[in-house]
């Protein structure tokens, strides 16, 4: 197969932050252009933690889609200490909730209302296991005594492994995996287990945050780790293992909110994500495996059909990514260090 061009069924984004209101209106076209569906994260303020809130949010997203767009937002429930099994059952039954998201309380942006103890959700996890509703996990411990670069590995050891054992049939996705420990856990776990891999964690290591100065646009959570971890992520992405699939974690924040004395965590990559993934797979000499990673493994895990529309990606001269304009101010678009030499082709 050629190494500078590939046509694949339209990918889906299995982990996306769309925000709300003016920001939603500004960033939605970037994802709707390149993806068929997206799992929409519920970390709004207040969080999307009820069926009614998810129905209303989905309507706001649909109302802002470009005319003739067939993009489908897939909604998630933000788990809190008081989420009830009935709420999840109702949302699942009505075709609203496609998954539920576990944020350890305080772990990241708008996670203050998250879960303070997994023990409180025992009945919720039991219900999710029974009805087949996937649990999407932000896998970081919130113990402030744990080094920020170790928080994913400690979470896996102390919380995720017991959870995996206690609910053997629960579908679990370790979102935005960043460590070799995470890759190993997902590869070896018994039961339905998967992970999403982001464009930024595949293309930067932690040095990128400190390249001749502090680089707030390279800061996200979980934070990028050492090069050895990035190598493990890349190997997992191109491995052909169906447990690893595409999830951008595109998370727009205003440039001003990131270039701040307490800069927000998050990388906005929706406009460049597919080009980044293609560049990574081509760089690994495995462009042939992009189609499974981007278009097939995610639908298989979620029990959904592969998209029928296609998209073509191609190598190009180095591309520039201008700031993404919003009525609130500009948002910096992620470009991997060293530049981007892939793009979406004009056809089909």
Catalytic residues: 249
Among positions 15, 17, 258, 341, the unique one binding ligand DOR when judged by CB under 6 A: 17
| Residue 83 or 108 with smaller CB distance to ligand DOR | 108
Question: How far is Cα 33 from Cα 36, in angstroms, rounded to an integer?
Answer: 8
Find the binding residues for Zn ion in span 20-79 (CB under 5 A): none
When CB distances are held under 5 to 8 angstroms depending on the partner's kind, the choice from Zn ion, ligand DOR, none that residue 194 binds is none
Strands (E), the chain: 5-9, 13-16, 37-40, 72-78, 97-102, 135-137, 172-174, 193-197, 244-246, 310-319, 340-344
Give the range of 77-85, 248-256, 270-278, 285-293 binding Zn ion by CB under 5 A: 248-256
Can residue 266 be called a binding residue for ligand DOR (CB under 6 A)?
A: yes
Q: Is 269 in the site for ligand DOR (CB under 6 A)?
A: no
SS3 at position 100: strand
Interface residue with ligand DOR, options 75, 251, 287, 313 (CB under 6 A): 251
CA distance linking residue 111 with residue 172, whole number of Å? 19
DSSP characters over 48-76: --SHHHHHHHHHHHHHTSPTT---EEEEE
Match 């495996």 to its residue by tokens: 289
From 102, 249, 268, 311, residue interacting with Zn ion (rule: CB under 5 A): 249
Tell which positions 219-238 bind ligand DOR, by CB under 6 A.
Answer: 220-221
Question: In degrees rounded to 5, what are phi and psi of residue 171?
Answer: -75, 120
Half-sphere exposure of 220 (CA within 13 A, CB side): 27
Residue 220 interacts with which of Zn ion, ligand DOR, none, CB < 5 to 8 Å by class: ligand DOR
- The answer to whether the peptide bond before residue 46 is cis (omega within 30 degrees of 0) is yes
Tell me if 72 contacts ligand DOR by CB under 6 A. Answer: no
What gap in Å lies between CA 104 and CA 272, rounded to an integer? 29
- The angle that helices 85-93 and 51-63 make with each other, rounded to 10 degrees, is 40
The interface with ligand DOR within residues 124-183 (CB under 6 A) comprises 138
User: Among 265, 306, 316, 321, which residue interacts with ligand DOR (rule: CB under 6 A)?
Assistant: 265
Q: Is 100 in the site for ligand DOR (CB under 6 A)?
A: no
Residue closer to Zn ion by CB (options 103, 293) is: 103
- Cβ proximity to Zn ion: between 138 and 229 the closer is 138
C-alpha to C-alpha distance for 281 and 290, rounded to whole angstroms: 6
Q: Return the residues of window 37-66 that contact ligand DOR according to CB under 6 A.
A: 43
Q: Indicate which of ligand DOR, Zn ion, none lies near residue 108 (CB less than 5 to 8 Å, by partner kind).
A: ligand DOR
Angstrom CA distances, 229 to 169, 194, 259, 289, 320, stand at 28, 17, 27, 21, 28
Greatest distance between any 2 Cα atoms in the chain = 54
Q: Which is nearer to ligand DOR, 101 or 341 (CB)?
A: 101
How many chain residues bind Zn ion (CB under 5 A)?
1
Under the rule (CB under 6 A), what is the footprint of ligand DOR?
Answer: 17, 43, 108-109, 138, 220-221, 251, 265-266
Under the rule (CB under 5 A), what is the footprint of Zn ion?
Answer: 249
């Amino acid at each position: 197969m050629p190494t500078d061009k590939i046509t694949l069924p339209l990918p889906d984004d299995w982990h996306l932050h769309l925000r709300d209101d003016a920001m939603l209106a500004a960033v939605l076209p970037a994802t709707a252009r390149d993806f068929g569906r997206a799992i929409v994260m519920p970390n709004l303020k207040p969080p999307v933690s009820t069926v009614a809130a998810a129905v209303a949010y989905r309507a706001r997203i649909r109302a802002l889609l470009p005319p003739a767009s067939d993009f489908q937002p897939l909604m998630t429930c933000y788990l809190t200490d008081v989420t009830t099994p009935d709420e999840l059952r109702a949302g699942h039954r009505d075709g609203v909730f496609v998954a539920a998201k576990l944020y350890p309380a305080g772990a990241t942006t708008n996670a203050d209302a998250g879960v303070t103890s997994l023990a409180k959700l025992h009945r919720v996890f039991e219900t999710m296991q029974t009805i087949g509703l996937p649990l999407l996990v932000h896998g970081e411990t919130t113990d402030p005594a744990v080094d920020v670069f170790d928080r994913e590995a400690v979470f896996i050891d102390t919380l995720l492994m017991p959870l995996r054992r206690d609910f053997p049939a629960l579908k679990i996705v370790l979102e935005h995996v960043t460590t070799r420990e995470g890759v190993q856990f997902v590869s070896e776990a018994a039961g339905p287990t998967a992970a999403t891999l982001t464009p930024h964690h595949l293309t930067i290591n932690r040095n990128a945050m400190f390249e001749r100065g502090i680089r707030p646009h390279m800061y996200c959570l979980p934070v990028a780790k050492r090069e050895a971890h990035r190598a493990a992520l890349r190997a997992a992405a191109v491995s052909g293992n169906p447990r690893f699939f595409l999830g951008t974690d595109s998370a727009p924040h205003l440039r001003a909110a990131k270039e701040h004395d307490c800069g927000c965590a998050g990388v906005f990559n929706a406009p460049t994500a597919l080009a980044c993934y293609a560049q990574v797979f081509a760089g690994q000499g495995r462009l042939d495996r992009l189609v499974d990673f981007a278009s097939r493994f995610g639908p298989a895990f979620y029990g959904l059909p592969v998209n029928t529309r296609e998209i073509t990606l191609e190598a190009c001269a180095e591309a520039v990514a201008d700031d993404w304009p919003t009525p609130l101010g500009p948002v910096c678009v992620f470009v991997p260090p060293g530049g981007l030499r892939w793009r979406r082709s004009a056809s089909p």
